[in-house]
Chain A
């Protein structure tokens, strides 16, 4: 069986939007999106000790995204595929899903996993667009996942409780960050990662024209950046023994008690 995990390399610290390009400034240090670590962990758990199962990690991003792929390899993934091309920068959902679906399509995985959210863009929808392009069933918010006889079973957490959902493979699943605790790469894992297969492909390798992706291939645009409305007179105090009284005074002022 082949399990592909899509991972994103995100800026660390307090990322900013570049006022010129209005894109996220990706020039600083980055790391594996921590929600994606849950997806990598789940793939490794499904693989267990089965040597016939391959865990492939896939990332679409700048050269530095290789660091996040290496981290996933160090956690235990078997192989990495990096789609790296300057033409990809500025891609929105339509364009990003197109490239990822192309890259995944070549690999024909039985299962494609995503984490529940990108911590930089707060995007939490990519899997559904990729599943649509691959024409496969999709389940999101998986709090539990198991496989049996060519099908998967997911316990999906929703606003109302849990749904148990079954779907035939191949399929796409986005896991919740409640599904597991991702392992830390061991020293042995980190050393071993350097020897694992690592493919880097360009848009041309995937047969994608430049105009289909990047800003040219995107259907949405950023028009302007501005300061958000502040929360009025937000304040923060340290408890000096009188915090309870300070809260009551605040609530009285707001006519809430």
Chain B
């Protein structure tokens, strides 16, 4: 097996999700693993990939490719797969990676299994694990032929820094397709968060529409403070202007996997679930007994957040104070 991992970066940081997939690939037992890095100034990030198990890093260091658009990445990946003879290409899900993976699948007529949470070698064959139908069934999926493409759910793997050495770096030049140059990023708005980063927090208290009004986010903030955590929000409340985008958790927004996730007035729509389902322990409070969030909560409480949360905050404070 010869595995290639698509590495994603944001600014000067390699994304944790793609490093997790790289670390997983390196421990699969299928031989050396290579990675691909595309963007402006990415050469300096290549050594970092070695620590997570990349024996080789293909680099396209080009400022014109820094905007996070998928089609130029398909051109790069297709060339590396063909020239390097790779039979397996792995991606950590993101807005960019999903589009790059599917574009590559069509380019190479290759099988893509998505939404995987794990992968293993079984008698030399690659087998992916995909929870389906609201996670009510676990599906083992395979590929009939190489190249095999896989897109993993965000947060599927930890990214432990290993003892890997300095990777071999190969610079690649790629002729882009006309249509890959069509889309252009003309501006970017990126909100930086203030306060503790939700991606690194051990505890997250997140609020949704069920809080009722923007000022009720103080309930979430006070509970988060008592638990020593950060505050998150659903897309619905961010769209409504109740809370800043930096706190948004979900398919668009941050993907988090804290030790404790407390969901206040959150229904648990798929858009949100994708961003927090790999949290260790999930506690949900919602007045709708049929809210989907209860299907993936460790403790579900059917009740009014406005009644329960102030008491809960007080009890947590008492406990910490004692």
Contacts and interface: CB of A to CB of B under 8 A. Distances in A.
Interface of A: 14-17, 22, 92-94, 97, 117, 119-133, 135-141, 153, 156-168, 171, 176-178, 218-229, 231-239, 243-248, 250-252, 254, 256-257
B135 A125 contact: no
B95 A237 contact: no
Contacts of B163: none
Most buried by B among A219, A221, A243: A219
B299 A235 contact: yes
B310 to A, nearest CB: 8
Given A178-B239, A219-B109, A228-B135, A135 B299 contact: no
A138 B179 CA distance: 9
Given A157-B252, A161-B245, A137 B185 contact: no
How many B residues touch the partner, as a band? 35 or more
12 contacts: A94-B105, A94-B111, A127-B99, A128-B98, A129-B112, A130-B106, A153-B186, A158-B96, A162-B189, A220-B141, A231-B282, A233-B298
Contacts, number: 272
Interface in B249-264: 251-255, 259-260
Interface in B49-87: 67-71, 74
B183 A227 contact: no
A226 B68 CA distance: 37
Interface string B199-220: 0000100000000000000000
Chain A contact residues: helix, strand, loop or mixed: mixed
Interface in B168-185: 177-180, 182-185
B316 A248 contact: yes
Contacts of A256: 203, 227, 259-260, 281
Nearest to A232: B298
Given A129-B105, A136-B182, A164 B187 contact: yes
A162 B252 CA distance: 10
Contacts of B191: 161
B115 interface: yes
B14 to A, nearest CB: 14
A178 B254 contact: no
Nearest to B271: A177
Most chain-B Cβ atoms within 10 A of its Cβ — which of A160, A165, A239? A160
Given A17-B133, A232-B298, A117 B270 contact: yes
Closest 7 CB pairs of A and B: A239-B303, A219-B111, A137-B182, A244-B311, A125-B102, A161-B190, A128-B102
B139 A225 contact: yes
Given A161-B190, A238-B301, 11 more contacts: A122-B132, A125-B114, A127-B99, A129-B102, A132-B106, A141-B95, A153-B186, A219-B111, A219-B143, A244-B309, A251-B283
